[in-house]
Amino acid sequence: MAGQCIVGLQWGDEAKGKLVDLLTPDVEFVVRYQGGANAGHTVVVGSEKYVLHLIPSGILYPHVKNIIGSGVVINPVTLIDEIDRLENRGISVTDRLLLSNRAHVVFPWHVAEDKLWEESNQPDDEEKIGTTQRGIGPCYRDKVGRRFAIRLGDMLQPDFRSKLNRIVEFKQRLITATGSDSVVLDANMIYEQYLAIAERLRPMIVDTTEILLNAVEQDRSILYEGAQGALLDVDHGTFPYVTSSNSSGVGVAAGAGVPLRAVSKMIGVLKSYSTRVGGGPFPTELDNPTGQLIRDRGNEYGSTTGRPRRCGWFDAVAARYTTRLSGVDTIALMMLDVLSTLPELHLCTHYELDGEMIRVFPSHVNDLRRVQPVFETLEGWREEITEVRRFDDLPPQAIDYVRRISELLDRPIEFISVGPERAQTILCRLETPVG
């Protein structure tokens, strides 16, 4: 099979977009299979920077068909804005993008609900989940609940208006009942806006499941692009501080609509350190000047929200768990250059929980809060590495760091990123840093 999948193995923001961009020249399809506009993938081409939220990162290549699959929740207003911004920069989108008619639609009431639920009915001392407040969770909730869900293809059906009117009536009563009088849903206005957008998107709204099943059977080359990261997986992440979809490798089949055997290679993406956004336990967090230095060197501010990310040392316990969970074959280690100039580096190899040394990632968030990270210290490197293009040309200390991560995860490292641009990537396929 010719299917490869790229999945983040931390709490998101692992620079997956760059890797998708690097692999796209050799594929025919790039498929985004879960999440929504809460994702932010950044691709740097020369002096040009592209920030993508819904559109797959392969959109910059004319020969590639980019698919937003049925597992994604789509805000059509956001999508149109993203299309316009790309086309204004000379990127032809409409002939490269296909949208699943099964994908669920984010409406204004979802955004309103998201804000209300995040800001209300919560003690001041309780840690917030930290959603992007873009309506993703409420849309997934309606998808599972079925009764108040609208799919992209539904907006092209004759009963779209009557369905929307019924839902708006209920949602207005629900929002008002929470004590919010500031949110007023105008069914006519929403209908006119979304119908106009649906007509514009009509040529791109298709049965992508059928297209992908045919492509799989024809052994055509497909790259599946995950959003967020495996530690945010709704079933297998640090619940409840997670996203609303299966953001680990287990989600690709359901989200894209293909059999599991369609993915022949799983590439796990990791930063050379750890970050997370929002609430939830973070065992290796550095709430100190070193953490701020990593944040500044790595520009660790959300591409979707602009929020500063929490930064910490690399957590091999968590990464080993998500590597196994997602069935990862090889690793892409990103942003190694950010660690340059640090005199010492620390790798978390174990946790201590109730006096016991463990390598198992706790399944309950309360246990994860109580663990103490056990670190291994390695010597850092002083020189910048952004111009290095061969593994053997890295400083010896950087080579040792990469090798140790590979050993701890028991996986070969295939790619090393030393900067944001395409060229700033070391391919290790002939120089495997293990064994």
Q: Which residue has the tokens 């299979």?
A: 33
Cα–Cα distance measured from residue 427 to residue 386, given in angstroms and rounded to the nearest whole number = 14
Q: Which two tokens stand for residue 141?
A: 């909730």
Question: Global pTM?
Answer: 0.91
CB neighbourhood size of 290 (10 A): 15
The pLDDT of residue 38: 75
The pLDDT of residue 50: 80
* Residues designated as active site: 13, 41
CA angle 111, 107, 152 (to 5 degrees): 140
Spatial CB neighbours of 165, under 8 Å, sequence gap ≥ 6: 187, 191
Tens of pLDDT, residue by residue over 91-123, are 999 999 999 999 999 999 999 888 887 666 555
Least Cα distance to 293 among 279, 306, 312 occurs for 312
Tens of pLDDT, residue by residue over 394-411, are 999 999 999 999 999 999
**Percent of the chain's residues with pLDDT above 90:** 78
Instruction: Give average pLDDT by consecutive 10-residue segment, the chain, 435 residues.
Output: 90 90 92 86 73 88 94 95 93 94 96 79 56 85 94 96 95 84 88 96 97 96 94 96 93 95 96 94 96 95 79 98 97 97 97 96 96 98 96 96 96 95 82 45
